[in-house]
Amino acid sequence: MTSEIEIKRGLQGVYIDRSKSSFIDGTAGKLLYRGYSIHDLAEKSSFEEIAYLLLYGELPNKTQLKDFDSNLRSSRSIPAEVIEIIRVVKDSHPMDVLRTAVSALSAFDNEVADNSVEATIRKGIRLTAQAPTIVTAHARIKEGKDPVSPNSNLNQAANFLYMLFGEEPTEQEARLMEKDFVIHAEHGINASAFAARVAASTNSDLHSAVVSGIGTLKGPAHGGAAEEVMAMALDIGEEEKAESYVRNILDGGGRIMGFGHRVYKVEDPRARHLQTECQALGDQKGQPKWFRILSKVAEVMEPYQSRGICPNVDFWAGAMYHLMGIPKELFICIFAMGRIPGWTAQVTEQFSNNILLRPLLLYDGPMDLPYVPLDDRK
């Protein structure tokens, strides 16, 4: 009987449900949010528009966007008790702090147990607004500084940079961070979205689902490549050393971070939107070498594209964050902050047509062993 069972390790290629949140065609390099091309959205929409689109299923008109943006801006503060929790765990990894603080926020949300679509969306808006406040408060506390209060005059991306550095970002920096939030906002049933859906399938709450997503995203196999790509670039140091560095790693059987994707077998459609911006920011900051180093790495890796190993979204992101002065341990938190609207959309879909997500494991151990009393065991 067991020989007839097909095991899909990693659930690769398995469809668990239908979704209207996003569409991915890995062979064509195509990504849609609610039917709209990521190329249009990345270049033409604000993060606030994208969050609205994912949560409500359509792009907002001017009045809807104004109200939604106002709601986000007014929801950024976090309770003093959560700030104290951040102080207690300040020496932890930023993703651990984010996970812990989001969990703590559930104690202060009077809708925590309401799993209606309407309440779940309202909680998703609040968590989207509060996540940057958590991340920046921790970053500053860890450096011995006081947290910076949110600035209601700034949009989501600019406010994050303001709370992190204590001064308003340039227009270019704010635009780049916003674009980064947009391209990270949703990506189908990846590992973290699956974890969030599993939590939701038990009829748990959104906070629990987001905590599950954050904990899963922390794993380097899912969300940590941007940090490792920048570490590689720093290790290379100069453009002239890039080719030999890459070939030495490949000859030793190693991997070049920032290449390859579980779904995409061609160019990750999100990557191009950070590539040109990374170059422009490097020129503006007087540090063009990071773009040149990564460009040389990409050039050396070109022959592997025929095997489906292409630059992914993280390849250019790390250099962009580095150029903005963002500490490398926060790179993955940026991913998480942008993804909360996507997780919320996935959870609302799960709640709307729920079934407990409970796959099977094929037992591969001994059967019907005789029990041996403790005194008789060797």
- Establish if 170 belongs to a structural domain: yes
263 alpha-carbon distance from chain centroid: 16
Spatial CA neighbour of 101 closest among 112, 115, 87, 113:
87
- Establish if 225 belongs to a structural domain: no
For residue 55, give both structure tokens.
């949560």
Q: Report residue 279: phi and psi, to 5°.
A: -65, -45
Active site residues: 222, 261, 314
- Chain segment 62-119, per-residue pLDDT in tens: 999 999 999 999 999 999 999 999 999 999 999 999 999 999 999 999 999 999 999 9
Domain that holds residue 181: 22-188
User: Is residue 3 pLDDT above 80, yes or no?
Assistant: no
For residue 261, give both structure tokens.
């994707």
- Establish if 79 belongs to a structural domain: yes
- Chain segment 274-312, per-residue pLDDT in tens: 888 899 999 999 999 999 999 999 999 988 888 888 888
- Chain segment 192-251, per-residue pLDDT in tens: 999 999 999 999 999 999 999 999 999 888 877 888 899 999 999 999 999 999 999 998
User: Is residue 2 pLDDT above 80, yes or no?
Assistant: no
Q: How does the average pLDDT of the chain come out, rounded?
A: 94
How far, in Å, CA of 87 to CA of 141, rounded?
7
- Establish if 322 belongs to a structural domain: no
User: Is residue 1 pLDDT above 70, yes or no?
Assistant: no
- Establish if 55 belongs to a structural domain: yes
- Establish if 66 belongs to a structural domain: yes
- Establish if 161 belongs to a structural domain: yes
- Establish if 62 belongs to a structural domain: yes
Structural domains in the chain (count): 1
Summarize the confidence of residues 109-131 as an average pLDDT.
Answer: 98
220 alpha-carbon distance from chain centroid: 12
Of 131-135, 141-145, 211-215, 361-365, the range with the lowest mean pLDDT is 361-365
Looking up residue 30, the CATH number of its domain turns out to be 1.10.580.10
